[in-house]
Amino acid sequence: MTWVVSMTDSENVEDTNVRTVKLGLDGINSHDLNRAVECDAESIINYVPTHPKGIAGKASEIEDMAEMFRAFPDVQFVTEQILGGADWVAVKGFLTGTNTGPVRVGRREGKPT
C-alpha cells in the first residue's frame, strides 16, 4: 500500500509534513504496521527512551514496532506536541499500554535493565 499526501491550497510544506506524520501515528493507534511506517523514510532515526542512540533505518523501525505490538497489544501513542519544518518533523508524546508479552529493552538481551 502506498499513499500520497498532497498539499492543499491552504497548507504550506510544514503543515503537509505534520499531517503526513499524524497519519502514521494513526497507524500506530490502529495497530496497522504498514500504515504506521508508510511515511517513514528509509533513513529514519527514531529516538525513544528504550533506544537513546536511536533506531536507524526503516527495517529496524518495522521490527521494533512489530515487537511493540506483540508485547503491548493495546498500545496507544498520545501526542503532546508536533513541530514541522520543510524537511523534518519532531513528535513529543508517550505510549500507553498493557504489557502481556516479552520485551527487549534497548537490545540488551541477557543484561540487566
3-class DSSP state of 66: helix
How many domains is the chain built from? 1
CA angle, 60 as apex, 113 and 97 as ends, to 5°? 55
**Residue 4 pLDDT:** 46
pLDDT digits (tens, 9 = 90+) for 52-90: 888 888 888 888 889 889 999 999 999 999 998 888 889
Provide the H-helix boundaries in the chain: 13-29, 33-37, 58-71
68: left (phi over 0), alpha (psi -120 to 50) or beta: alpha
The answer to whether residue 31 sits within a structural domain is: yes
pTM score, whole prediction: 0.70
Residue with more model confidence, 13 or 103: 13
**Residue 77 pLDDT:** 94
The answer to whether residue 1 sits within a structural domain is: no
Q: How far from 57 is each of 17, 60, 103, CA to CA, in Å?
A: 19, 5, 20
Range of the domain at 27: 13-96
The answer to whether residue 106 sits within a structural domain is: no
**Residue 85 pLDDT:** 85
**Residue 50 pLDDT:** 73
The answer to whether residue 5 sits within a structural domain is: no
